[in-house]
Structure 1
């Protein structure tokens, strides 16, 4: 079964301005819990992007970014690729990449999964339907990005998160949208040491 889980309410997330002033970030969870920014194995956050500009560089970190508010974000890699993200699209990229964001339709909000490459791997899935999620190992972060979702006996409102640290054994999560059009972000993290 799972070890203890945490419910994190949107109202309790503290906004921290970026160094360049281009937005603000709210950390949802990190492991080890309370780890400094240069010492986490993984980190999940939501960022408000208020203006175009360069992404911070994170050596040794793999990133998955999912656009959760706003019509569009364009990510331009200095190496050449250009990625146009519509709402609910995700993009995985290396933290060392030189990425610049453009906001053709104004400010956006994105969900960020950051993974220290030599320690963990992870993935993000956008869910809209009622289903039973199987979890065998690792950590799980579920964020209600739109509307309202039920997760087992818990109710998540927009911006709320449910976090399991290091699930052991097999377990199931029953997720169900409570409001029409609700969206749940499902982030999974697995240690590379324990993965079989």
Structure 2
């Protein structure tokens, strides 16, 4: 069984926002497109706008290119610097402003009992991924190049590519290279 699988570019779906302020590219969701419990996407935010509400959804969100200012109805303001992650309730649709111009943002959405974590960070050399039973890793390489190793398997990644890692405790997963990446750790069963 293969532990590493690249996400084919042909499987990505880009859709315009109803308000015309940007587009979203859906990378993956599960268990299916209609009744998803988790969703991974990248938003291209072209102008100041109000996000769509997603009731009963927990969001984890990271600015990828330029800072993003989120203004919530309860008076909270969150300045999201590049590669910094925030968490918010999807029903609380914030207004976004772009202090330095258009940006992209990586979005992890979770529903029900589904668990997950979003991490954005530089890659400089080698890093090992901790493995847990019934969890999987997702890697999106923002910039640079990387080699992902899972025991005896190896896949090379270029900027913009995405990869699923399905390895179990006792196996060894290592990412080597230079650049920046987004990591998602996602529970696959409860």
TM-score of the pair, normalised by structure 1: 0.85
Aligned to 2:33: 35
Cα deviation 1:103-159 (Å, max 9, x = unaligned): 11111001110101x221211122323111121132321100122221111111111
For residue 121 of structure 1, the aligned residue among 115, 132, 152 is: 115
**Alignment pair present for 1:49 and 2:45:** yes
Cα deviation 1:58-95 (Å, max 9, x = unaligned): 1111000011112x100011111101111101101110
For residue 141 of structure 2, the aligned residue among 140, 144, 153 is: 144
For residue 85 of structure 2, the aligned residue among 87, 90, 95 is: 90
Q: Which moved more, 1:118-127 or 1:4-13?
A: 4-13
Count of aligned residue pairs for this structure pair: 183
Aligned to 1:62: 58
**What stretches of structure 2 of length at least 5 have no aligned partner?**
none
* CA contact 1:133–1:173 (8 Å) conserved in 2: yes
Matches of 2:89 and 2:2, distance apart in 1: 31
**What stretches of structure 1 of length at least 5 have no aligned partner?**
none
Matches of 2:70 and 2:82, distance apart in 1: 13
Matches of 1:100 and 1:170, distance apart in 2: 44
TM superposition shift of 1:13: 2.9
Aligned to 2:186: 189
* CA contact 1:25–1:48 (8 Å) conserved in 2: yes
* C-alpha RMSD over aligned residues: 2.0
TM-score of the pair, normalised by structure 2: 0.87
* CA contact 2:13–2:27 (8 Å) conserved in 1: no
Matches of 2:60 and 2:156, distance apart in 1: 26
Aligned to 1:111: 106
Matches of 1:40 and 1:120, distance apart in 2: 10
TM superposition shift of 1:169: 4.3
